[in-house]
Amino acid sequence: MLMKLGVDITRLKRQIRQALPKIDLAYTEISGEEAVISSTYEGDHSPGSLHYANLAVDTRKAKKDNQKVLERLKFDLGSNYDVVAESSHNHIEHDPKNLRRRG
């Protein structure tokens, strides 16, 4: 797994940190490329975003078969995680109650 310059994963909580190997594996097996974390808490996110609670990561979209990567992540991570294709990236968050806004 790679990280965009300036991205800090040290604050990530255990629940989202545990998802990182599964995220990287899905990218590698489906698209043949390493996952790249493009954002954690840094940057601008929606108010109330789980990025600010250190429970979310954004990844670059896979160049090949991004939709299949997302489907695999939804299956592998299960219902306690939201996996969403945004316009410029993929958003993955630990949100077991699905009550919070994505961002």
The count of domains in the chain is 1
The more confident residue out of 102 and 32 is 32
CATH number of the domain at 13, please.
Answer: 3.30.1380.10
- Domain of residue 87, residue span: 2-94
Residue 15 in any domain: the answer is: yes
The model's pTM: 0.89
Structural contact between residues 28 and 34, judged by C-beta atoms closer than 8 angstroms: yes
Residue 103 in any domain: the answer is: no
Model confidence pLDDT, tens digit, residues 52-98: 999 999 999 999 999 999 999 999 999 999 999 999 999 999 998 75
Q: What is the mean pLDDT of the chain?
A: 92
DSSP character at residue 40: S
- Strands of the sheet with 90-94, listed across from one edge: 2-3, 36-39, 56-59, 90-94, 81-85
Residue 44: predicted pLDDT = 83
Question: 32: alpha, beta or left, given left = phi > 0 and alpha = psi -120 to 50?
Answer: left
